[in-house]
Every structure is written in structure tokens, then in C-alpha cells.
Chains A and B, each alone.
Chain A
């Protein structure tokens, strides 16, 4: 009996926690940093063993300043705390986007339709992909499939 009540309580707790998290995550907006940090060099396309990607260097493209994260260059996605930041990134055609893993856990970047795949990204490892066609690219981490993100290419 007690197990049954405990189970109900757990379910309620988990459901409300889940609700809170989802509410918090619901506002994933396109955001990109303003130009402040871009005194740094354009991100170099980096190589990872299993990746397919472009070999060209791309200048960082300034994007409409709207972002909550002022330190992330407009074509970088931080992988941290088991999430992709920003969750949705909008870029122009021809942009190279770079993912950087800041977690102590390894992660991967796998496009849903297998258009690109990063291979294992351990801490501080990077993966870059040059987007040459417009569209919405959804991806996830194959180790932690609840981690998802999108790149919108216009």
C-alpha cells in the first residue's frame, strides 16, 4: 500500500518537475551574439576522426543581436550541461557552424537524417559543418538522445 502511495507521489513529483523543465525550455529562440566577442579569429574548421565536413575557413557572420548568450560567436554552438546552446541557431547559407563540447561527458552531434555526424566529441573537442543548402537541420546526441537542437539555414 505504502509502495503504491510512494509511487503516486513520485509520479506526481516527476510530472511536475518535467512540466517545469519543459516550460523553461519552451522558449528556445534563435539567438546569436552581437559582435562584441568577435575580435577572435574566425573559427577554424576542425577535424574529428569520423566527420565529414568542409575544409574551408569561414569568416564569422554577424547576425541580428538578440541573444541571451553574449559570449558565443554567431556560428558556434556550446555543448554544455547536457544541452546544446543555443538550442536553435539560424545562419546564412554557406556558414560553417562549430560545436564545442564543454561537458565532462562525451557527446555527439548526429543529424536526424544522417546528413552529418560528428563522431565522439570528448571534452573540448570540436565539430564543424558547413551548411550549403537552406532548410532546417535537426540533430541530437547519440549518447543522450534527449539532447536535441536545430540549425536553420536561410
Chain B
């Protein structure tokens, strides 16, 4: 059930936005509440979609090949996520996987992931790699599998019904961090070649074009000690500053965090494999092991993003797997 509350809010004195206040989303058990100032809204009820609307689904961090606590069958939970997508009343136009497709970037693991995704009704999947997909061979096998249509080391952009999508890679050429001991992942980095490409890629677009950026490691600094951030994301975001609506979708941290900064809303996503601790709540960002089996699916999930029209922000609904 959802209550529709229309607020007229003027942004830059130009547009009105309508907000939807969602108390509960029947069937998934996940409540998504609206916070003042957060320019995202819940998906419209099925059947209420207007012409020109499309949706896509973000899935992330499937880690095919991982087999420890709390999830010894990540292929199963990945398949469950795909089954959930297939059960949606309106099928998404495509899927976006925001990386860590595999655990160890082996051919077998990539094969298994491909097999699971073949069962998705959606015919198109876009990918960006996570560090687990590229660390063993500097991205060679990843590019072999998913490099078609991409530029440089695997970045790409595409347009869909007037929305400009940009897939960025921030897990290659990671540099050694400073200091020893506790910590974990290093900061992500985009690199100058990719930044140069990005600047050119968006140059000709009108500022009213909605932009969706997807990349594995978060593009804002969440927790430096665990390397949850991207060194040179500020430069990337500077090329996008003039656009009216920018949505950034990330993975890597296996939990949902969100942030709004001007016209940019950032969202990290759940994993379909295992959860990770909130920043600073554990000695290291490894899997949370003591999740009871009957609670596991409540901390795994997928995300449905709906584009309504140029006048509305993207509608984002996060669902748990159970």
C-alpha cells in the first residue's frame, strides 16, 4: 500500500516534483520511508505507470564462489534474486550488475554467474567489475567476458529513453595504501584516461538529461579506514555538476547507504551473497558471519529503479530477498 502525497517543491526555481510517501511495500516486508530533503520516491503501484516509463534493476556483489559463513550457497541466493526480478509484474528494461560478480574471477565462477543471469527474463545486463573480478589478472578475463561495447579498460555509456547511463570502473590499478595493520580495501580510483573519456562523453548533453552513474566502489567517501571511497571521484562529479538530476548507484559495501549532495543522490546496494558491517562497527569489513540462517535473506537484496519522466526523480525501491 502506498499513500501518495503530492508536495510541490521548486528546485532552482524551475521544476515541481511530486513525492510519494510509501509506508510499506506489500510482499517484500521492507519499509521505505521518505525523509525530508531526500529527492527519491517509492515506485508507483503496478498499473499506475504512465507512458514512457521504464524501470531497471540493480543487483550487486553476487560473489559467486564464496562458500563461507553466513552463506554457503551464494549461487542459490543469486538465483533467488533473479527469480524475484522475473516475478515483477512489469519486467525491467535491463539489469545492471554493480560488480563483484565472482569471488575469485575464475572461469568457472564467471560461467556460473552467466548461467544464473541467463534465466533472467530481461534480455540485457550491463556490468561493471568489482575488485574480486579483476584482481587476479588485471581484469583480463573480465574484459573477455564483458568488454564488448566498452571503452578503454571497460567503461561505457548508453542512452535509454532519454536517460544517459554511465558505467565507470574504479577497481583497476589500485595503489598501495599507506600504513600497516587494520584496514581493508584501498580507495577506488578512476584514473586519468577514464576521466578524460567521461568529460568528453557528457559534454554535448543538455543539462536536463537525467544521468545515472554506476560503479562498484562508492563514489563518495563513506569510511576511509576501510577504503570505502574513490580517490578521484570529485573530478568525475565535477563534470556532472551542471546536470539537473544525477543518480549514483554503487555496490561494494554490501549494505544500503544513501546520501544527497545538491543534485546528486548516491545509493549503495545490498549484496545477494552476504552482508558487511556498518562503518567502524567491526575490526574489518569482512562478511558478517553470525547471521542466523532464517534471517539471511532479510539482509540480502536487489533494487528496482523506475524512471517516470523528466520532471520526477528516479523512484527507487529496495527489496530484501526474504
Shortest distance between the CB of A141 and any CB in chain B (Å): 9
By the criterion CB–CB under 8 Å, are A146 and B286 in contact?
no
- Known contacts A17-B225, A104-B68: does B176 contact A84 (CB below 8 Å)? no
Contacting residues, chain A, for B183 (C-beta < 8 A):
21, 82-83, 144, 146-147
Alpha-carbon distance between A149 and B182 when the two chains are bound, in angstroms = 11
9 pairs, CB–CB < 8 Å, chain A vs chain B: A3-B37, A83-B181, A83-B182, A104-B286, A120-B135, A144-B186, A146-B186, A147-B180, A147-B183
With contacts A81-B284, A104-B69, A105-B286 taken as known, whether A145 is within 8 angstroms of B182 at the C-beta atoms is: no
Compute how far the CA of A133 lies from the CA of B37 in the bound complex, rounded to whole angstroms: 61
Say yes or no: A149 contacts B180, CB within 8 Å: yes
Once A21-B182, A21-B225, A81-B284 are accepted as A-B contacts, the answer to whether A145 and B68 lie under 8 Å apart by CB is: no
Note all chain A residues with C-beta closer than 8 A to B175. Answer: 145
Which residue of A14, A104, A123, A147 is within 8 Å of B223 (Cβ)? A14
Q: Which residues of A contact B185 (CB under 8 A)?
A: 143-146
1/0 contact string of A101-133 vs chain B (CB within 8 Å): 001111010001000000110110000000000
A147, B177: Cα distance in complex, Å? 7
What separation, in Å, do the CA atoms of A21 and B227 have in the docked complex? 14
What is the minimal beta-carbon distance from A45 to any residue of chain B, in angstroms? 21
Q: Is the CB of B184 within 8 A of A144?
A: yes
Contact A25 B286 (CB under 8 A): no
Of chain B, the residue at the smallest CB distance from A122 is: B104
**Are the C-beta atoms of B186 and A123 separated by less than 8 Å?**
no
Partner of A140, one of B103, B176, B187: B176
